[in-house]
Amino acid sequence: MQIAVIGGGITGLAAAYRLTQILPDASVTVFDKRNRLGGVLETLHRSGFEIEQSADNFITTVPWGVHLCKELGLEEQLVQTNPLVRRTYAVRKGKLHLLPDGFLMMAPTKLYPMATTPILSWFGKIRAAMELFIPARKDDVDESMANFVRRRLGREVFERLVEPLVSGVYAADMEKLSVLATLPRFRDMERKYGSLITAMQQQLKANKQAHLEEQSGARYSMFVTLRGGLSVLTETLAEKITSRRNYAVRLDADVLPLQKDNGRWTIEVRDNTHAAAEKPMTFDAVIIASAANDTALLLQKSSPVIAERLAAIRHEGTAIATFAFDAKQIKQEFRGMGFVVPAIERSPILAGSFSSLKYEHRAPAGKTLIRVFAGGARAPELAELEDAQLIPLLFQELKRMIKIDGEALFSCASHWAGTMPQYHVGHRERVREIEALVQADKTLALAGNAFHGVGVPNCIESGIQAAEKIAA
Ligand SMILES: Cc1cc2nc3c(=O)[nH]c(=O)nc-3n(C[C@H](O)[C@H](O)[C@H](O)COP(=O)(O)OP(=O)(O)OC[C@H]3O[C@@H](n4cnc5c(N)ncnc54)[C@H](O)[C@@H]3O)c2cc1C
């Protein structure tokens, strides 16, 4: 059986790796138009600093990331977040304030910190407390994140707490972002408990009980990374894949729109190094692990209906700028790992991370690494801005929020155009429709961050499922 995997990011690599386990005798080729594997995942090592160019860690409550690391023998390299700074700041009028203790993405678990936070006005706090009495919505109709949070907790909690926290992850427009596709558990809580505050408190009690019962306590922090960077994961996968004689990787290989004749897929590749089209190749099955708009282009000839549905899932661009300092240049102590910036602050920064405080191995002793995240639906043009303009713009803004002496020792930026999927209202139905159309074809599987989750563990799961569909 000859199988093509298009896209050599974490999704495509997870798919190809799973194929080595379930179809070891198949002949598999992974194609990527970039000149390296890993997709958006890329770790740089410079002057003793470890710099992540996109994702810098992954969640452990979605188990696929940790499972895969264990399976690859990378468990010893998993690093937990620094326990002394497991909090987040939100910017309010240009200054950093710790988020109320116990505020988890969308709702408070503790009332006293909510009552005393300087981020909300008294009016905002009273409105948030009224959440306990607001009638619950019981239907299953989707709505925007903005609508949901304003409806339950009021405008201030939305604008000053939830909008920046969610934007810092999804880089999306909250007026369009689907609550059912991104954080459905909060709608479930509303339905089941009638109130998010009640639900969070009940869950906290249940978790405390579970924690007491599990004598050893939680095994991992909520987020982990790998010592050596997330590229260790993609490099290890690539080694496992290419160690099989019948598995190959083709880089600089831009796959052109696919053709399907007599049940076989024809793949034509334009080699980016000499911009030439090559002799077409044929395959029995194809796994496409790219952004939805790229997948739509690939399927436009062979499956125009699927392509049209896929094209409706937008991917926005984002950018990351990283700054290295001598620790003494930072004239402030931090009790959190990073900060989020509400849209109402009108800042070019979406969020920032004190990278070397969050994971101490990322900077040499006496040095500090800070990175900022920009772009997304709020300012997609920043993803395309030249480094010479982007880096000073973000540095000036960072200095407005944090006391920094002098210039960075060095800085760098990465640009990720069209990579962050936007799960707009109705996303779940759109995905169901696409999956129903694809399901009928046993020789085609689609995977990636456009469907059921943006995070690295979700991508790994979708790659594994794609491989299993093709092998079934
Ligand atoms: C700035 C940023 C920060 C993030 N932070 C986090 C985080 O902290 N934690 C977390 O869990 N997740 C994070 N994410 C999300 C996560 O990193 C991504 O969702 C995930 O890595 C996507 O992997 P992928 O393989 O699906 O896609 P990609 O990495 O985009 O890979 C797709 C590949 O397909 C290739 N391709 C496309 N079309 C073709 C074609 N026609 N021919 C050949 N090749 C093609 C592309 O070149 C690309 O390499 C972040 C993402 C970004 C951009």
3-state helix, strand and coil shares in percent for the chain, rounded to the nearest 5? 40, 25, 35
Nearest CA to ligand 1 atom 34: 7
Which residue from 54, 249, 462 has its CB within 8 A of the most atoms of ligand 1, so it is best to mutate? 54
Give Dmax over CA atoms of the chain in angstroms. Answer: 69
* Atom from ligand 1 closest to the CA of residue 454: 19
Q: What is the mean pLDDT of the chain?
A: 94
pLDDT the model gives residue 212 = 52
pLDDT band at 219 (very low <50, low <70, confident <90, very high): low
**Do 222 and 236 touch, CB atoms closer than 8 A?**
no
* Atom from ligand 1 closest to the CA of residue 255: 42
Which residue from 59, 233, 290, 300 has its CB within 8 A of the most atoms of ligand 1, so it is best to mutate? 290
Type of residue at 364: P
Handedness of CA 397, 82, 420, 411 (dihedral sign): positive
CB proximity list for 37: less than 8 A, separation 6 or greater: 8, 9, 13, 30, 234, 235, 238, 249, 251
* Atom from ligand 1 closest to the CA of residue 254: 42
Residue 309: name the closest of 295, 320, 289 by CA: 295
Segment 27-36 shows an average pLDDT of 97
Alpha carbon of 423 to ligand 1 centroid (Å): 16
Domains and CATH numbers, the chain: 2-39+231-313+424-471 (3.50.50.60), 103-213 (1.10.3110.10), 316-421 (3.90.660.20)
| Beta-bridge mates of residue 80 | 224
Q: How far, in Å, CA of 248 to CA of 251, rounded?
A: 10
- pLDDT tens, 295-326? 999 999 999 999 999 999 999 999 999 999 99
Nearest CA to ligand 1 atom 5: 55
- pLDDT tens, 372-395? 999 999 999 999 999 999 999 999
Pocket of ligand 1 (CB under 6 A): 6-12, 31-34, 39-41, 54-58, 253-255, 289-291, 294, 298, 318, 320, 416, 419-420, 448-449, 454-456, 459
pLDDT the model gives residue 278 = 78
Q: To the nearest whole percent, how much of the chain has pLDDT over 70?
A: 97
pLDDT the model gives residue 214 = 46
Supply 333's token pair: 């102590």
Alpha carbon of 60 to ligand 1 centroid (Å): 19
* Atom from ligand 1 closest to the CA of residue 65: 11
* Atom from ligand 1 closest to the CA of residue 416: 53
Q: How far, in Å, CA of 425 to CA of 213, rounded?
A: 40
Alpha carbon of 14 to ligand 1 centroid (Å): 12
pLDDT band at 220 (very low <50, low <70, confident <90, very high): low
User: Half-sphere exposure (CA, 13 Å, Cβ side) for 365?
Assistant: 0
The pLDDT of residue 213 is above 90: no
Q: What pairing do the DSSP bridges indicate for beta strands 285-288 and 444-446?
A: parallel
Nearest CA to ligand 1 atom 6: 55
pLDDT the model gives residue 204 = 80
Residue 199: name the closest of 266, 273, 132 by CA: 132
- pLDDT tens, 68-117? 999 999 999 999 999 999 899 999 999 999 999 888 878 888 889 999 99
Torsion of CA 158, 144, 167, 312, to 10 degrees: -170
Supply 102's token pair: 């116990």
